[in-house]
Amino acid sequence: ESERKNEITILKEALKNSVIDLRNLAKKLIAELGKDKADIFEGHGDIVEDEDFQNEMFDLILKEGYSAEHAAITICENNALDMESLEDDYLKARADDFRDIGNRISEAVFTVHNTEKVSAVQKESAQLFPAKPSIIVASKLSPSQTVAFYLPHVLGFIVSCGGANSHAAILARSLGIPAVMVSNTERESLAENIEVILNYDKKHIIVQPNLQTKKNVEEALRVQTEKKEKRALLLDLAAETKCGYKIGLYANAGNISDLPCIALEKPDGIGLFRTEFLFMEQLELPDEAMQVAYYTEVIQSFQGKPVIFRLLDIGADKPLPYVFQPKEENPFLGWRGIRFLIDNPPILKTQIRSLLRASEITGEEIRIMIPMVISPSEVLVVDKYIKEAQSEIDAQVLLGIMVETPSAALSLAAYKELIQFISIGSNDLTQYTLACDRENELLQDTYSEYHPAVLNLMYTACSTAHSFRMETGICGEFASQIGGALLLTAMGFNELSMSARAIPKVKEAIRSCFKSELQDLLNEALRCTEASEV
């Protein structure tokens, strides 16, 4: 009994110290690199402080006789396995966060047990950091390790586990450190002190390059630098054709941590802010206060520029672990987007109130976009909750819908009194139009936004929306492709929203064309019968 109480005391001290370390790390990152880099560790601190999370560990000690370290590692690993069992890649990647937290608590337990040994361990671990320009090779990096390696001599990372959605990968991108994933075999074949070229754009490495390869890479870097310098001259110029036709180039975003990098490309606004990532990173539903603070920060980051917030879009490939969602045979055709929200009024009402309060605080007009719409009745529900909130909150709202289904694209006249803008979700619109799962590797050659049926549907939706004086935009991958962007410009879309990194190349392409040339190109494309002909 006394042993178990002692382990509880040790764990409490370790948890307290872990929170202090995480808060101090977050403060350090805010001071040196900006708040966006600190969000991950603020989140880790919130998890460690969570009462339910701590009680699970205490129960293992009191009821099962676990040691403090064993209890912490077990609970964190259980959470990690729960995340890994989910289908969504973004949520799967959160497993690494729980393992990182488990390792941190384990180290804190060791410190409580062995205070006198800690300085020796710290001295030994310091020798792991490179003293000359190096690429770090590891099976996997945790967020804590990624930040620890943010040093002048660290040129990049080569790892064999993790993915683009892991917090370590997100941190590396935001810190400007290139990272490439390779196979275990390839990683294990790398010896210390050998020369390696890391090609971030092509996502591969070249081991022990010969002289000619080095010269080729140097020349490629020179050309790339020239292109960047040329495009940098376009940063402050509008995306307009040679004949003066202007189109807005907006960026897609999903996290506050994305915004500083996005701002560097000087977009005209945010055409799609995915609010679901705020929900996916919590252990429970974010309350109104948390949402208000979050949305306010997003708006203030782009003060004076429009930001379109998409209402919570979960279901299909984006489940929430703390919200019950039944297993469905066809989740992409199931209980997702506005369908889920209408069946969960408290979630929908809280998000709408939060968005309106953020508008009131910032004094900016708020743009709200409804996902997965197929009928006006769904828009009426959202409109009703907006009007209810406006009776208490002084906020101006523009309401719009995602056009992701053929039914929405072909019936926009029915929405003419309800909405002020539309945005084509080209990824989903393509898969629903072609009855083609975009995640199915067997159908990669079948899935194409360039299919004439998809192009005609986009053009019809754009033309119909304009006839009712609705603003028109698109926020799928299609807008990031030069060919897609040029066709969409010809269709007459007011704004294209894309990955921020694509903005310079798209702007350059638009500025090199006449609108009449693009319209001729579009007319030819619409007459085609196969995507391959386009």
Name the residues annotated as catalytic.
167, 475
Picking from 376, 378, 402, 397, the residue whose alpha carbon sits closest to that of residue 387 is 397
Tell the residue number behind the tokens 């990096």, with chain if given: 141
Position 260, amino acid = P
- How many angstroms from the chain centroid is the CA of residue 188? 31
Supply angle C-alpha 94, 95, 96, rounded to 5: 90
Scored b (16 or more CB within 10 A) or e, 102-137 reads bbbbbbbbbbbeeeeeeeeeeeeeeeeeeeeebbbb
Two structure tokens written together for 102: 């488990």
Position 185, amino acid = T
CB 350 within 8 A of CB 312: no
Position 513, amino acid = C
Picking from 296, 297, 299, the residue whose alpha carbon sits closest to that of residue 269 is 299
Two structure tokens written together for 329: 């045979």
The per-residue DSSP string of 307-343 comes to: EEEEP---BTTB--TTS-----SSGGGSS-THHHHHT
Find all residues with CB under 8 Å of 167, minimum gap 6, and list them: 40, 93, 94, 96, 97, 143
- Let me know if 173 is exposed, middle or buried by CB neighbors in 10 A (0-12, 13-18, 19+): middle
Beta bridge partners of 249: 496
Picking from 155, 177, 146, the residue whose alpha carbon sits closest to that of residue 41 is 146
CB 282 within 8 A of CB 50: no
CB 236 within 8 A of CB 278: no
Tell the residue number behind the tokens 């497993």, with chain if given: 95
